[in-house]
Chains A and B, each alone.
Chain A
């Protein structure tokens, strides 16, 4: 008895002397593993963000070479829609190139970096647990907090790289050094905040997908808070100060630099890390915070087709996207009335510009910008939904279904039907929410129907994005993710369209969104919409033909 009781006690005791019993044991090794896994991805990220800064500085300098040009730009970005999509408006009275970059471009760099950080952290923590790989790792001499710590260190390295490279690019473009690096640091620190957010959401759910979704929802809230605050008041109201993106924009780079708002971000990082670590100690490896519940022993009568299965798989994500888009669209809609105020202001300050537009045109233009933004979000949903078909195949879940009396066309058709149905629902929701937002503040034209119509005409463009996924799925399934590149281009053309005036139509026309008439202002151009629809349908058909002919593979 005594022998068996003492022998196992001495061994770990001696071991602990070496390791110190630390919950961080193995962090170094795991960090090296993470760096090895992301050795291409991380530098590509950092360089892409830096290149985007370089592009923005060069393009903005080319489009607005003189102070007078930039002052016109400053007028343009004083509309609520532009403020939502830019920043608190520091330096608008003396709109230097630096101020322009900090006010209008930095936001998008921060959003891109935030998305990358959420995905990076979830990929290295919750996804590892979900696949069971972390079990193998944690069975080694690895402390409880080591995987999360190693992941956070990886994010720290990646964001530092982003900050330094972005700053260096701005300095190289001839901007003030301190402000340049401050802006780079703001982008990097914001990335770090969302890395910490990702660590927290990874503790909450069992699924990597849900963890990323929650992290991105947090990003949406941060974006919305600063948008509301910035529209409420020039240089931001107190609402802007509720958002980490707001803090990063409040450093006033290239205007009147102050560093201290970034301390708020760092403090939030520390708080989130403490939260994540305390959550992590309360749960089992692989489990979420909430225990899984039992479900029905029998399937509902309706669960009897590939469509029912795919709908069941994706309903949650349709609802999540729908909620996000609805909140965003509704909040944006409530700013429609401030466009009216702005017209009055504009008439007073620059009558010739006000004459150029009418009030209706300005409202319509505002609605058009918001609608294209929502339609792009729906495009993002559509691509990720379409890519689920590929995930079903590689995970081996398509195989048992295709081994039943289900043809390939029917199976793939079911996936497509869910993607299209989801996209239609989201487009209608975005139009309705935008219109309801406008109604809430008492703006009755355009009508609710016009808002919905403005959103729904983007369906052919969304279908074209899905069509690209489908062609890849049918012929080169490994390349299906390339649809995101087209999406990115559509985003650039849709949001920065005015900066790209000098690009030939052929280049901008690659974006399916470019062919969609911007209702309610534009005329409904049935010809180009019809053509876009035909292209989309042709792409889908080509995809189906390929999928019927090729091998079904799984990993």
Chain B
């Protein structure tokens, strides 16, 4: 954002208290357990990714954070307050973008934006104009004529235009084209640079990877993994492709090497495999005598992290599909 926000609320936010701190959160709907002892922390000034497949409990968690749902048990702290009891006061300090934006059909996009920002405590008109411009949104159209992507933009502009400490974004880019996704990414980076905190739920891994400092991966209402992107990568393997002069089939016997595949190429045999990151040093030492012609080591993408956590589930679905 080019508008300087010297009086930004984020600047006066108490440092130290996490923006969101959830511990052992449980929520059931009848017999269905939506959240089963979930933990989540968003520190001040960071972008926390909240990753999981559909139905994992991301939106339920966010609705508890917004005081729309009442937690069965566990502790939830939002900007230092209780999201159920202090909902109104806390909502002045946050902005929310739902995953599925439904607007009032007879209001224009511009009217919806004004209404939502006013209910939150007002908006800087210059910032609103700038955002409308960047997202290429026509505010004079009635909401019923907007496509899904345009409805999403209305909610995004209303949220991003507000001067708040915390942004709660539930799959905010669903329906946006790649160009608009890039604009969104840029806007979020600017807000974070001003010291604001962001909770970004998504099932789009690239989006989380691009923006987030920390990631919490959940599934069936439970955290399966959380940490900084660095920490998560540390736990995982890297994909290695190496073309050598000598046959590299016996690399498969090295500790930490998995799924080795060797194919002949014009340049020589090409070996592809995964290696546990803590065995990387041993691998590099061993490779020397094979006569390395080219070496490519790729850090794991979140796609791969995701596959590891959901792999067994996918496998089960595949098996079921094959039957």
The answer to whether the Cβ of A460 comes within 8 Å of any Cβ in the partner chain is no
In the complex, A300 Cα to B121 Cα: how many Å?
A: 16
The answer to whether the Cβ of A176 comes within 8 Å of any Cβ in the partner chain is no
In the complex, A397 Cα to B94 Cα: how many Å?
A: 18
Contact with B110, one of A296, A396, A404 (Cβ below 8 angstroms): A296
Specify which chain B residues have a CB less than 8 angstroms from the CB of A397 in the assembled complex. 102-104
In the complex, A338 Cα to B107 Cα: how many Å?
A: 48
Residue of B nearest to A402 (CB): B68
In the complex, A316 Cα to B119 Cα: how many Å?
A: 23
Task: Kindly specify which of A117-125, A254-262, A302-310 makes contact with the partner chain.
Answer: A302-310
- CB of B105 within 8 A of CB of A207, answer yes
Specify which chain B residues have a CB less than 8 angstroms from the CB of A552 in the assembled complex. 63, 68-69
- CB of B111 within 8 A of CB of A296, answer yes
Given the known inter-chain contacts A309-B115, A397-B103, A549-B70, please indicate yes or no for A294 contacting B141, CB distance below 8 A: yes
Specify which chain A residues have a CB less than 8 angstroms from the CB of B139 in the assembled complex. 297-298
Contact with A304, one of B91, B100, B118 (Cβ below 8 angstroms): B118
A-side interface mostly: loop
**What's the minimum C-beta distance from A488 to chain B, rounded to whole angstroms?**
30
- CB of A294 within 8 A of CB of B69, answer no
**What's the minimum C-beta distance from A209 to chain B, rounded to whole angstroms?**
10
- CB of A405 within 8 A of CB of B91, answer yes
Given the known inter-chain contacts A400-B155, A403-B96, please indicate yes or no for A295 contacting B116, CB distance below 8 A: no
Residue of A nearest to B120 (CB): A404
The answer to whether the Cβ of A299 comes within 8 Å of any Cβ in the partner chain is yes
In the complex, A97 Cα to B94 Cα: how many Å?
A: 69
How many contacts A-B (CB < 8 Å)?
115
Contact with B106, one of A300, A304, A308, A313 (Cβ below 8 angstroms): A313
Given the known inter-chain contacts A297-B108, A403-B91, A405-B88, please indicate yes or no for A304 contacting B102, CB distance below 8 A: no
Q: Mark A373-408, 1 if CB is under 8 A from B, else 0.
A: 000000000000000000000011101111111111
In the complex, A402 Cα to B62 Cα: how many Å?
A: 13
- CB of B68 within 8 A of CB of A299, answer no
Specify which chain B residues have a CB less than 8 angstroms from the CB of A294 in the assembled complex. 108, 140-142
Number of contacting residues on A, CB 8 A? 37
- CB of A304 within 8 A of CB of B115, answer yes
Residue of A nearest to B168 (CB): A403
The answer to whether the Cβ of A502 comes within 8 Å of any Cβ in the partner chain is no
Question: Among residues 21 to 68 in chain A, which have CB atoms less than 8 Å away from a CB atom of chain B?
Answer: none
The answer to whether the Cβ of A292 comes within 8 Å of any Cβ in the partner chain is yes
In the complex, A408 Cα to B141 Cα: how many Å?
A: 29
**What's the minimum C-beta distance from B2 to chain A, rounded to whole angstroms?**
21
The answer to whether the Cβ of A551 comes within 8 Å of any Cβ in the partner chain is yes
Specify which chain B residues have a CB less than 8 angstroms from the CB of A299 in the assembled complex. 107, 110-115, 118
Specify which chain A residues have a CB less than 8 angstroms from the CB of B141 in the assembled complex. 292, 294-295
**What's the minimum C-beta distance from B257 to chain A, rounded to whole angstroms?**
49
In the complex, A106 Cα to B129 Cα: how many Å?
A: 61
The answer to whether the Cβ of A104 comes within 8 Å of any Cβ in the partner chain is no
Contact with A295, one of B87, B92, B103, B111 (Cβ below 8 angstroms): B111
Residue of A nearest to B122 (CB): A304
In the complex, A408 Cα to B103 Cα: how many Å?
A: 19
**What's the minimum C-beta distance from B65 to chain A, rounded to whole angstroms?**
10
- CB of B66 within 8 A of CB of A295, answer no
Of listed B70, B111, B142, residue having the most chain A CB within 10 A = B111
- CB of B102 within 8 A of CB of A396, answer yes
- CB of A400 within 8 A of CB of B116, answer yes
Given the known inter-chain contacts A406-B88, A552-B69, please indicate yes or no for A304 contacting B111, CB distance below 8 A: no
The answer to whether the Cβ of B183 comes within 8 Å of any Cβ in the partner chain is no
The answer to whether the Cβ of B144 comes within 8 Å of any Cβ in the partner chain is yes
Contact with B69, one of A305, A313, A551 (Cβ below 8 angstroms): A551
Of listed B63, B68, B94, B140, residue having the most chain A CB within 10 A = B68
Q: Which 6 A-B pairs have the closest CB atoms?
A: A299-B114, A404-B119, A295-B108, A299-B111, A403-B96, A297-B110
Interface residues of A (CB under 8 A from B): 206-207, 292-300, 303-306, 308-309, 312-313, 316, 395-397, 399-408, 549-552
Pull 22 A–B residue pairs with CB atoms less than 8 Å apart, ordered by A: A292-B142, A292-B144, A295-B111, A297-B140, A298-B111, A298-B139, A299-B111, A299-B115, A396-B101, A397-B103, A400-B101, A400-B155, A402-B66, A402-B68, A403-B68, A403-B96, A403-B98, A405-B89, A405-B91, A406-B119, A551-B69, A551-B70
